[in-house]
Amino acid sequence: MTPLTRRNFGVLTAGALLVPPALARAADAPPITRAIPSTGEQLPVVGLGTSQVFNDDNDKTRQAATRIMRTLIAAGGSLIDTSSVYGDAEAVLGDVFAATGQRDKIFVATKLEQPDADELHRSLTRLKVKTIDLLQLHNVRDPGQSLAQFKAWKAQGICRYIGITSTYHGDFAAIEAVLRREKPDFVQIDYSLDNRIAERRILPLAAEVKAGVLTALPFGRARLFGAVRGKAIPDWARDFADSWARFFLKFLIADPRVTAVIPGTSEPKHMADNLGAMRGRLPDPDQRKRMIAFIEAL
């Protein structure tokens, strides 16, 4: 059996949907933004994750990255999240920034494996930038981890915000301890409709310490597309979601503690579909409960 991916999912779903009037109007609505808690700066709620997307530094990858970035900007988005360990993703983005002159339209977030000046210099060089919008310590495992060096870089103007990340639930205790003590501007965790551990462990604490939340893996590593394969979006959801990607993303965006979702893709059409989730109505609390029940019943 061919593995199900976002790329081949579309041809397997049941019938095209007629677009309800509410969604037709949403196409002209301004993009939804959310305030970064520590400053009030508004950030569009749908961005781009680059893990396993732009890992290879070649012409094909750079062309894809250019098309994706232009799609992001044209739809009112700005956030691109990458890392020093995502293969050549930083270098690819740096080439695209240099070639297009669009760096000033992008909220650049990257991650370091440790608070190391050499690693920071490497990221800045690869990205071809002097400053980074969000600098994150990746995969925090030590509950005693200090962010003093990150705070020093922020004070020096090298980055505007600092954050911590983990998608390993075994490390959530460490994330909680560092989040509570160091109070970074952002925390990035995995969160999806079928993976809601962060709802009870990380999101309440992030709100308490006024940290923004970025949600990685919002499609559950494509598990969600597999779960709804061949199924139509339920009638009660069709006035806020006309694709499964928007159904899944709007579930997350409807939580006010989530600052932005960062699905990864190398396909402009998928980027455009994802970006559609930041326009129009979001599901209300009762509908979010129905969304959970719908997925759990599959």
β-strand partners of 46: 261
Per-residue pLDDT tens over the stretch 31-88:
999 999 999 999 999 999 999 999 999 999 999 999 999 999 999 999 999 999 999 9
Q: Reply yes or no on whether the pLDDT at 11 is more than 50.
A: no
What pLDDT, on a 0 to 100 scale, did the predictor assign at position 1? Answer: 40
Model pLDDT, residue 20? 58
With 0-12 / 13-18 / 19 or more C-beta atoms within 10 angstroms meaning exposed / middle / buried, residue 14 is: exposed
Tell whether the model's pLDDT for residue 16 goes beyond 50: no
Q: What is the pLDDT of residue 248?
A: 98
Q: Is the pTM of this model over 0.85?
A: yes
Cα–chain-centroid distance for residue 26? 21
CATH topology of domain 13-296: TIM Barrel (3.20.20)
Residues 268 and 50 sit within 8 Å (Cβ to Cβ)? no
Q: Where in the chain are the domains?
A: 13-296
Q: Could you read off the pLDDT of 112-161 as tens digits, one per residue?
A: 999 999 999 999 999 999 999 999 999 999 999 999 999 999 999 999 99
Looking at residue 14, its pLDDT comes to 42
pLDDT digits (tens, 9 = 90+) for 256-265: 999 999 999 9
Tokens of 50: 């680059």
Q: Give the pLDDT band (50/70/90) at residue 22.
A: low
Pick from 125, 180, 199, 191: which is nearest to 158 by CA?
Answer: 125
Closest CA to 165 of 184, 152, 180, 151: 184
Pairing of strands 48-49, 159-166: unpaired
State residue 233's pLDDT score: 97
